[in-house]
Structure 1
Amino acid sequence: MSNFKRKSALMLAMMLVFVTVFGVLKPYEAKAWTNLTIAQFDTIYEHNGSKEVTYKLTLPSSGKLTQITSVTGEYVNFYIYDASEKEVQSLYGNATNTYTYDMNLIGGDYYIKVTSNWDKTAANFKWVFTPSEESFNETQDDRNNDLSSKFQVAVGQTVKGQLALNDNVDYYGFSVNKTGALNLKLTAKMEGMELSLLNDEGSFNYKVSDIIKGTKTLTFQIPKGSYSLMCSGNKTGNYQFTTSFVSGPSKVKLASVRNIKSGKLKATWKKVKSVKGYEVQISTTGDFSSDVTTKLVKGAKKTSFTFKGLNISNSWRTYTYYCRVRAYKEKNKIKAYSDWSNEKEVTIKR
C-alpha cells in the first residue's frame, strides 16, 4: 500500500492540490486521498483509463458497505485497506457488466484504491452504507475481540452484533448468582456461526458449531458464576441473541449408596421441595470423566433408584462405583437442574 500512497502524493503535489488532513496519515501523504463522507455514499464516481485514484472514507460504526460498479471496456480493480494499511478486500469489474459487492466492516477509517490496466477502461461506481445497529458500537480502535475487551451484558438483554471481514469474533460477559438453565435464542443471518460459553476460570465450556442461518434456541446448564459468550464464524453478517435464566432447585443430599444384590446398586436421597424429578449418575471414575451412566427419575416424591446389570463379570475381584444425584424443575418447557449432590462410593460384588 505504501507504494501507491507515495505515487499519488507525488502526482498531486505537482498539481498543487491540497486536501484536508485527518486520520492516521501524515500531511504530505493525505494529499493523495479524495475524502468521502456518509452523505456522499450514494454519489456516482467515474473512472477512466489507467489512472490510479484513491479515496478515504470513515465509517462511524459497524455496517454493510455496498459497492455498485458498471464497467465498459476491460478490468477495473478496487482494493480496500483499513487504518493499519492492511488489505481487507479486493474487488474487480470486467467488460460491460454491473457488479454489486457487499462488505461487512467495523467502524473506522478505510482507504480505497481504484486502478485499471487499460486506457479504454471506464467505470461508474458508488458506495452505499447501511449501519448494522450493533448494541455496542465497534470500531477498529474499540471492539470486543478477546476476553480482556468483552462487552458486559445483563441476562434478559437482547444484543445485536455483526461479524465482519476484519472482526470475526465477539465476546460478551455476564453473571448468574445461582445454578440453573441459561436459555439463549439466537438469530443468525449467515451460515456457519459458532458459539462458545466458558467461565472466567476456564473450567466450564460449551461449544456449538456450524449453526445454520435462521433462529435457534440453545439451553446451557450452568453453575453460578461469571461467564463469557464467544460469537464467531468464517462468514460475515448480522446476528442477534436474547438470554433468559431459570434458577435450579436446591441441592440434593445423597443419603446412601448400597450393593443390595449381585450387580445392583441402590441410591437413596433426601426429598427436595418443588421439583419435577431427579437425575442420578454412576461412574467407575471418581471425577465422572468416563464410563458414566445417567438415569432420569421422574416424580417429586421419588427418593431412590436402583441400577441393575452392572459389569461384575469376574468373580475373583470387586468393582467400585461412584454415585451422585441432582434435582430438576421445569419452567416454560425449560428444564433447570440443581448442583450435583455429594458423592458416595460403593463396592459391588458378584
Structure 2
Amino acid sequence: MKLKNKIILLLAIVVGLSGCYPMTTKASSDNTIQNAMSISENGTYSGAAPEEEVYYRLDIQQAEVVTMTFESYQNYSASITLYDNEYDKIDDWNAYYDGNRNAAYEKVNLYLCPGNHYIKLRVDKTATYSFQLNSKKVTETFPESQTDRNDILSQAKSVSLGQKIYGMIGNEDKQDFYVFDMPFSGNLVVSHTNYIESGQADYEILNSEGNSISSFRAYYDNNKGYAYDKDYIKLDKGRYYIKACGYYNGPYHFVMSVKPEAGGIESVTRNKTKATVRLQKADDVSGYILQYSTSEKFSKKSTKSKTVKGTTVKLSGLNKNKIYYLRVKRYKKYNGKTYYSDYGNTYTVWP
C-alpha cells in the first residue's frame, strides 16, 4: 500500500474512533457564563469542575428537542441549569444519586428554539462527570427564535381553517398565539396532538378583544405516548385567537375546521307507508340531508337519503311493518365550498 493511502486510512480510523469517546472539557479560567465553552447539540462530553460549577454554550439553528443524559460520579445530588441568550435562568433539574450507577444521574429533554443557550453543571469539586446530547429537529409552521416569537396577542400568527399548524412549547415560553376567522356561525372543530412527556396540553379560544371564551385540554396517554383530543366550540361569525399553552413542554400540531351546528328532528307523523318529517329549523344553513333506514346502524344497503332546503320532508314507499330510523345533518354553502354538520341524534319511528 502506498504511503499516501496508508496516511488516509490512518486518519479515517482516528476520526472514526474519536466519535466513540467523550470529548474531555476543562472549565474556563474565569469560569463564568460569558466565557462558556461551545458544544454541539450532538456529542458526548466529560470533565471536572474544581470550582463546583462549569458552563457550556449551545447554539441552536432550528427548533430542536435535545436529550441530555448526565452523570456525575459522586455520592450525592448534582444539578443542571438552563439559561437563555441574556443569561436569564429558564429551568433547572436535580440529578439525584443513583446507587446502581454510583453516580448522580438525570436524563432530561431540552425544548429549544433557535438562538444561544447556556448550560450550567453544579457538581462536587472532586468528581468527574460526563453527559451526552442527542437532538431531533422540530417542524414549526412559524419558526420561533429568541428574537421572533408569538407569545403574546400582538405577535399572533394568522392561520386559516383547514391548515395544519405545527409548533412547540419550549423551555423559554409557555404559550403560542394564532389568529383566525370564522366564516359563519357554527362549531369550530379543533383536532390537536401534543408530544408532551406527561400531564396535559391546554388550549384556549379568545374573542377579537383577547378575552377568553372557551378552554379545553388533552391528557397524556401512556399507551399512545402523546396527548390527543378533538373539541367542538360553538362560535359566531368573526375573528378569534387560539392559544396553545400549558406547563408541559413539547412539540404540537393542530388543525381547525368549521361545521354547521348539528340539528335534529322535531316530529314525525307516520301513516303506514308514508311519513311527514319536520326538522328543527336553523337560520344560517343552506339545507338539510335526511337519512332514513331500516338499519339502526344505517347500513348502506338499507339507507336512503333526501336533500331538502325546507324543514318539512315527505317520505313514501315505506315498509308498513318495519321500524325506521331517521337522522339529519345540515349543510352550508359559503364561498364556493359546502360545509356539513355531523348527524344529529337518531329518531326512531315505529310501525
TM-score w.r.t. the length of structure 1 is 0.61
Per the alignment, residue 30 of structure 2 pairs with 11
Per the alignment, residue 113 of structure 1 pairs with 120
Structure 1 Cα separation of the partners of residues 282 and 165 of structure 2 = 41
Contact 1:181 1:334 in 2 (8 A): no
Aligned mate of 1:218, from 222, 226, 231: 231
Structure 1 Cα separation of the partners of residues 245 and 212 of structure 2 = 18
Per the alignment, residue 83 of structure 2 pairs with 81
Aligned mate of 1:103, from 110, 125, 132: 110
Uncovered stretches (5+) of structure 2, i.e. residues with no partner = 1-26, 222-226, 263-280, 291-309, 314-327, 332-338, 345-351
Uncovered stretches (5+) of structure 1, i.e. residues with no partner = 1-7, 13-27, 250-267, 278-298, 303-326, 337-350
Q: RMSD over aligned Cα, in angstroms?
A: 3.5
User: What amino acid is aligned across from residue 196 of structure 1 in structure 2?
Assistant: E
**What SS class does the counterpart of residue 165 from structure 1 fall into?**
coil
Per the alignment, residue 131 of structure 1 pairs with 137
User: What amino acid is aligned across from residue 37 of structure 1 in structure 2?
Assistant: S
Contact 1:9 1:29 in 2 (8 A): no
1:108-155 deviations in whole A, cap 9, x for unaligned? 211122232332x11111222222212221122211111000111111
Per the alignment, residue 343 of structure 1 pairs with none
Matches within 5 A, 1:222-233: 222-233=235-246
The answer to whether residue 206 in structure 2 is matched with residue 205 in structure 1 is no
Structure 1 Cα separation of the partners of residues 258 and 73 of structure 2 = 58
CA-CA distance at 1:168 after TM superposition: 0.8
1:174-195 deviations in whole A, cap 9, x for unaligned? 1133223222111122332221
**What SS class does the counterpart of residue 111 from structure 2 fall into?**
strand
Structure 2 Cα separation of the partners of residues 105 and 232 of structure 1 = 16
Contact 1:187 1:241 in 2 (8 A): yes
Per the alignment, residue 345 of structure 1 pairs with none
Matches within 5 A, 1:236-247: 236-246=249-259
Per the alignment, residue 36 of structure 1 pairs with 39
Identity of aligned residues (%): 19
1:44-63 deviations in whole A, cap 9, x for unaligned? 33335445422111122332
**What SS class does the counterpart of residue 231 from structure 1 fall into?**
strand
**What SS class does the counterpart of residue 148 from structure 1 fall into?**
helix
Contact 2:180 2:239 in 1 (8 A): yes
The answer to whether residue 60 in structure 2 is matched with residue 47 in structure 1 is no
CA-CA distance at 1:270 after TM superposition: 8.8
1:73-116 deviations in whole A, cap 9, x for unaligned? 24443322111222122234436244311122333211122232
User: What amino acid is aligned across from residue 109 of structure 1 in structure 2?
Assistant: N
- How many pairs are equivalent? 248
Cα distance, 1:128–1:272 mapped onto 2, change above 3 Å: closer
CA-CA distance at 1:207 after TM superposition: 1.6
Cα distance, 1:269–1:131 mapped onto 2, change above 3 Å: closer
Per the alignment, residue 342 of structure 2 pairs with 334
Matches within 5 A, 1:150-169: 150-169=156-175
User: What amino acid is aligned across from residue 232 of structure 2 in structure 1?
Assistant: T
1:250-286 deviations in whole A, cap 9, x for unaligned? xxxxxxxxxxxxxxxxxx9999761369xxxxxxxxx
The answer to whether residue 308 in structure 2 is matched with residue 300 in structure 1 is no
Per the alignment, residue 195 of structure 1 pairs with 203
TM-score w.r.t. the length of structure 2 is 0.60
Aligned mate of 1:142, from 145, 148, 154: 148
